[in-house]
Amino acid sequence: MKPVDAARDKLTSSLRTLLSGDKFGVAPDLYHGDPGLCGPGSTSWEVLADPSAMVGGIRSLLLQSCHPSAIQGVEDHSGFEADPLGRLHRTVAYVTVSTFGAVPEATLMAERVKKAHTNVQGTLPDGTNYDANDPHLLLWVHIALVDSLLQTYKTFGRRPLSRAECDAFVDEQSRVLALLGVSESPRSQSELDQCLREFQKELATTSAARRGVAFIKDPPLPRAYTPFYTALFNGAVETLSTEHRGLLEIAPVTPAARAVRVGAATAITATFRALLHKPESLTIAQKRVNRSVD
């Protein structure tokens, strides 16, 4: 094996372990011919297979933290201090299986999520109750993820997306949310933008959000990953709106500093794109679709 191939294998394997742990769930050699919820040629397959999705994941966690109920539920129930990477692994597994898995796999994953959310209930400091299976709260978490993946792909992705492709991505991802029982969700970029605006009045700066942002900024990663993660975190921050950065109490930087941050994140995602193997989930999905039904 050539040294460059060995390096690619090692980098791909180590990143997959870091991001997914043992939660990888797209099964090979099953459900032949099933295209899944999105299917070949979909914008979702392109966006989620790109390294920019790593930046999107960070941005999504930050954006979700703007909603008091969402971040309180995380703080009360996720156990991120005792299991710092557990939430990341579960989120990656959910997104991976929902996008690249066969329909039965995506359906089973949704059922697992709903079951896991059953006990994620509690009360905010002001006395407001929250419930992770509340369709309205599920909608917020969904649009935070979808908007983040789109914005980071537009900024750091392989190529520009047309408006039609952005609309297609939002529509494809609405099928994922429907499995959680939420049928009314954005189906286009403009509907997504409108939904984000409608949620704005519910967002607030909270102590839980401050603690969440501090953790997301400096998670307990292996030292070798820290410089790369910091650059991706800064890139994610620079794609947030001024309003959302303000709610998270993230200070703005100068235009020159912003250009440096965006440039660093762009360079890292481009390097990963060149060095990493194609995601195993995408490879399995492509083989599954191309095999005839037994």
Residue 291 pLDDT grade (very low, low, confident, very high; cuts 50, 70, 90): confident
Q: What is the pLDDT of residue 26?
A: 87
pLDDT, tens digit (0-9, with 9 covering 90-100), for 90-144: 888 899 999 999 999 999 999 999 998 999 999 999 999 999 999 999 999 999 9
Q: What is the pLDDT of residue 91?
A: 82
Whether 22 is covered by a domain: the verdict is: no
**Opening angle at CA 280, ends 274 and 283, nearest 5:** 95
Greater pLDDT, 196 or 19: 196
Whether 284 is covered by a domain: the verdict is: no
From the CB of residue 163, how many other CB atoms can be counted at a distance below 10 Å? 10
Average pLDDT, the chain: 90
Whether 125 is covered by a domain: the verdict is: yes
Whether 291 is covered by a domain: the verdict is: no
Average pLDDT over residues 24-28: 78
Backbone angles phi, psi at 130, to 5 degrees: -130, 155
Domain count, the chain: 1
Considering only CA atoms, which of 199, 204, 200 is closest in space to residue 185? 199
Q: How far apart are CA 109 and CA 101, in angstroms?
A: 9
SS3 assignment for 53-77: HHHHHHHHHHHHCCCHHHHHHHHHH
pLDDT, tens digit (0-9, with 9 covering 90-100), for 146-200: 999 999 999 999 999 999 999 999 999 999 999 999 999 999 999 999 999 999 9
Which percentage of the chain shows pLDDT scores above 90?
A: 76
For the cut 90, the answer to whether the pLDDT of residue 220 exceeds it is no
Q: Identify the weakest region by mean pLDDT among 161-165, 216-220, 239-243.
A: 216-220
Q: What is the pLDDT of residue 6?
A: 66
Token digits for 261?
């941050």
Residue 213 pLDDT grade (very low, low, confident, very high; cuts 50, 70, 90): very high
Q: How far apart are CA 118 and CA 108, in angstroms?
A: 16
Whether 177 is covered by a domain: the verdict is: yes
State which residues form the domain around 145: 36-279
Q: Identify the weakest region by mean pLDDT among 83-87, 238-242, 274-278.
A: 83-87
Whether 266 is covered by a domain: the verdict is: yes
Q: What is the pLDDT of residue 221?
A: 83
Q: What is the pLDDT of residue 36?
A: 96
For the cut 80, the answer to whether the pLDDT of residue 70 exceeds it is yes
Whether 294 is covered by a domain: the verdict is: no
Whether 131 is covered by a domain: the verdict is: yes
